[in-house]
Chain A
Amino acid sequence: MAKFYPVLKAEYGQCPEGCSLCEQACNEVMKDNHGSRIKTLDLAKMDFHGVLKCNQCGEPACMEMCPVGAIKKSDVDGVVSISETKCIGCGLCTLACPYGGIYFDSAAKKAFKCENCDGNPRCAMECPYGVLSYLGSLSTRKYLGPDLMTLGAGTCIGCALELTIRFTLRVLGDDIIVFRSAGCGAVAMATIPQGAAIKTSSCVSLMTNVPAVATGAKRYLKKIGRDITCVVIGGDGLTADVGFQSLSGAAERGENLLYICIDNEAYMNTGIQRSSTTPYGGWTTTTPAGKEKKGKDMPLLMAFHHIPYVATATMAYPEDFARKLLKAKAVKEGMAYLHIFSPCVVGWRTKDDRSIEIARMAVNTNYFPLWEFEKGKLSFTYRAKKTRPLRDFVKLMGRFNNLKDPQLRELEEDVKTRMAMLETLAGREL
């Protein structure tokens, strides 16, 4: 069985030109003259500036190839390491590794590689550009309970929604009732026999009245003295358009619900029509030249309902997401609202292996900042070390292909304005 370990992540080709801070940091730590274990790749001609490093593979080819078993993968932290005393210096491991993660010092007759600095990689600490980061999956796993979805997936290939729902249920546990309605979420949560189904209790109602139905159930449960969290999972169409009156009403009345909006910025399930969260310039089938209006700022709207907890999250930052889910579940008076950013492969016209990367880029360009609003105060839960230009986010998707420079500037302006607004609000009593 594959296990999960912390990883040293490098953003693909995002280094500034000519930077070698990670190599310097590595040389400083290693002090053994073998050279750096992370290699910068500075190719001006190809317009590529990135790094090359060991992936600490799950089934390391170098380990398999080593004729004396000098290479081992640790069960504890997943690091693939070379025993210096055992290494005979044959160099075969360099022939095994397809990723250029293992190097050979022919004079010293030793192979060497990155061993993650005992869980504290210096290169990641020294990288001021946010290219290198050390992602501790172990810390995320402590939030995870048993999987509450059956095997399979009813969603399109590469969709972040399936992962989001699976993760949400694993964190929340099974003492919940899920209220839902039409949308991609409905497909993800129950498409027996082709796809998966959730194993918790759930109730399906109309798009216009999900929070109202949940209200009734929650009040009844409270009356008979059972502490069961009523969770509404809906899309952006249900939340921001069709069911907004019901949500707004329930929030204002102070109903004790956990509302999770999974926002893919259009009506994806019915064929990619614009919703009120579709961003300015975004292509949909009903806005073929790009949307002319700005998107609705749903999470801020909910914050101004003065409910006890509002937060934004994405699967690209699972630890942050899990913490927010638990905080929201702990709210026993009034509504908790989570707004989840979830890339859509088909509707956003992206490659099917990019969902998480796009979500991370959305956060790092301030397109979708991560914040929470708790006890009347707004605070950021994650700030990128260096904000990336919005262009880096936009170019990952086909839906912004129609965006000309002036429109891109307009979208940038919109993002900036929202960010400025959040910064003004941060730390103040609302």
Chain B
Amino acid sequence: MRDKYLIIGSGPAGLKAAEKIREINGAKEVKLVSKEDCMPYCPAALPYLLAGRMKEDDMWLRDEGHFRRKDITFVRGKKIVQLVPDKKQVIYQDGDIDEYETLLIATGAQTSLPPVEGISGVNVLGFRTIGDCKELNGKLNRNTHVTILGAGMVAVELAMALIERGNKVQILGRGRPLRSYFDEESGAYVRAVMVDHGVQIATGKKIKRVQEQGDTIEVVCADGDVVETNLLICCAGVEPRIPFLDGTGVQVNQGIVVDNRLRTNIQGIYAAGDVAETPDFFNREYGINAILPNALDQGGIAGINMTGREERYKGWIPMNVVNLVGSIFFSIGFSGMRKGKGITIKEEKQEEKRYFKRLVFEAGRLVGGMFVNTDVDPGIIRYLIEHRIDVGDYIEPLFYETRDLSRWLMLEAERHTLR
């Protein structure tokens, strides 16, 4: 019996899974539960909301009518506090109990504060939910100085959004901005664009202590530097949002550990999205790559498997596209920072134009790329990598005319002439 589906979390992964299940079978009930009291939205849009490029009303990906038509029960503002796998039950904060036959955990990740002296005594904001975004928006006025801890994707997009609003922004990071996507050289362009637009960036910083001084917050670094600021936002650490898993026996490492069909170690329980730790595409190594494309992939595949069909997850590929004030940064796969045997790297650059192109090949296949202000179709590069298209005979032309050759290779592959 797989008649009653419960999905915790209505982010992109949960939403996709619910719709996939409905698409495939006529289960009695598909229930989507969100702890936030709002319609589903995509966290990737939050920086744009903060920057004022869109209205809050445009955030919602689905409306009530949509769920009615699809026959999905959408419950909002209900937080789950405990999962009881033996009885196949979940317990809500208000004491209600719900039963399920198949469960998907897609609760995403939440901010985890670094272990810094005094941090619990200071109001540190996060930036992961629409609630965080609204809280931040309420505290901002024109002269607010904001300090962001961390230099990852969220930190960079948040910083640019704040700049767009006219605020002063300081980034304090352990490493350089977007270091997991771009190497030293191309990453320098990211930094340069940000600095050009007024973001102050300090990297290699370890925070020693934070303390409140009247209206301002003092951040004291290990090297003695002190940053005075009005608002402190932490984008440095994330952890899976799973307070309800205590004592359930569900295996958790960095995230909930799942196999290539997105199943946890307990039968009938699946996990997908930022909360799940899954094998990667190239080496089947476990890890979390908390980005939207992977969340969507995982949500879809979890949905299919939950209905009893078999579909295997190919594994995640790190990738990202960022548009920073007209400069497009695109990185995918092994972008050459991890060296290995039999890997061919080809690159070219023009510093004055902030242009950078790198393609990484392994055994005749494209396995990664890094592009700054390069005219390519990111989706097509992704296609060539994901489908392991044999491009061995075309490495040179593909490098020199990347856009056109990749388009042609994609078309040929679609015609089954390359596989």
Contacts and interface: CB of A to CB of B under 8 A. Distances in A.
B404 to A, nearest CB: 6
A95 B378 contact: yes
B293 A95 contact: yes
A104 B45 CA distance: 17
Interface in B370-419: 377-380, 382-383, 397, 401, 404-405, 407-408, 410-411, 414-416
B328 A89 contact: no
Interface residues of A, number: 39
B45 A67 contact: yes
Given A90-B44, A100-B380, A68 B321 contact: no
A106 B323 contact: yes
A41 B407 contact: yes
A109 interface: yes
B405 A43 contact: yes
A107 B326 contact: yes
B113 interface: no
Given A90-B48, A91-B323, A95-B321, A50 B382 contact: no
A46 B397 CA distance: 10
A96 B12 CA distance: 14
B45 A90 contact: yes
A94 B408 contact: no
Contact of A67 (B42, B321, B323, B330): B42
A225 interface: no
A86 interface: yes
**Most chain A beta-carbon contacts within 10 A, residue among B58, B59, B60:** B58
Contacts of B88: none
A97 interface: yes
Interface in B73-107: none
A12 B411 CA distance: 9
B379 A99 contact: yes
A90 B321 CA distance: 8
Contacts of B62: 69
B292 A92 contact: yes
Contacts of A88: 45, 48, 53-54
B16 interface: yes
A89 B415 contact: no
A89 B293 contact: no
Contacts of A109: 53, 323
B44 A94 contact: no
Contacts of B59: 68
Contacts of A99: 379-380, 383, 410, 414
B376 to A, nearest CB: 9
Interface in A217-243: none
A86 B407 contact: no
B60 A67 contact: no
A48 interface: yes
Contacts of A64: 16, 296
A46 B320 CA distance: 30
A43 B404 contact: yes
A67 B408 contact: no
A100 B411 CA distance: 10
A85 to B, nearest CB: 8
B327 interface: yes
Interface residues of B, number: 43
Contacts of B44: 67, 90, 92
A39 interface: yes
B7 interface: no
A96 B293 contact: yes
Interface in B360-377: 377
A383 interface: no
Interface in B42-74: 42-45, 48, 53-54, 58-62
Nearest to A46: B408
A86 B59 CA distance: 9
B319 interface: yes
Given A67-B292, A69-B60, A98-B383, A45 B54 contact: no
Contacts of B379: 61, 94-100, 102
B395 to A, nearest CB: 14
**Most chain A beta-carbon contacts within 10 A, residue among B378, B379, B405:** B379
Nearest to B327: A106
A391 interface: no
Contact of B378 (A41, A45, A94): A94
A46 B411 CA distance: 12
B408 A48 contact: yes
A131 to B, nearest CB: 14
B136 interface: no
A45 B397 contact: yes
A65 B60 contact: no
A100 B377 contact: yes
Nearest to B324: A106
B377 A86 contact: no
A395 interface: no
Contacts of B382: 95, 98
Given A68-B42, A89-B53, A106-B328, A98 B61 contact: no
B55 to A, nearest CB: 9
Contacts of B416: 351, 353
Nearest to A83: B58
Interface of B: 12, 16, 42-45, 48, 53-54, 58-62, 292-293, 296, 319-323, 326-328, 330, 377-380, 382-383, 397, 401, 404-405, 407-408, 410-411, 414-416
12 contacts: A12-B411, A39-B407, A43-B404, A46-B397, A67-B45, A68-B61, A89-B323, A91-B321, A99-B380, A103-B377, A106-B328, A107-B326
Given A67-B42, A95-B293, 8 more contacts: A41-B411, A43-B408, A65-B292, A67-B12, A67-B45, A94-B321, A94-B378, A100-B377
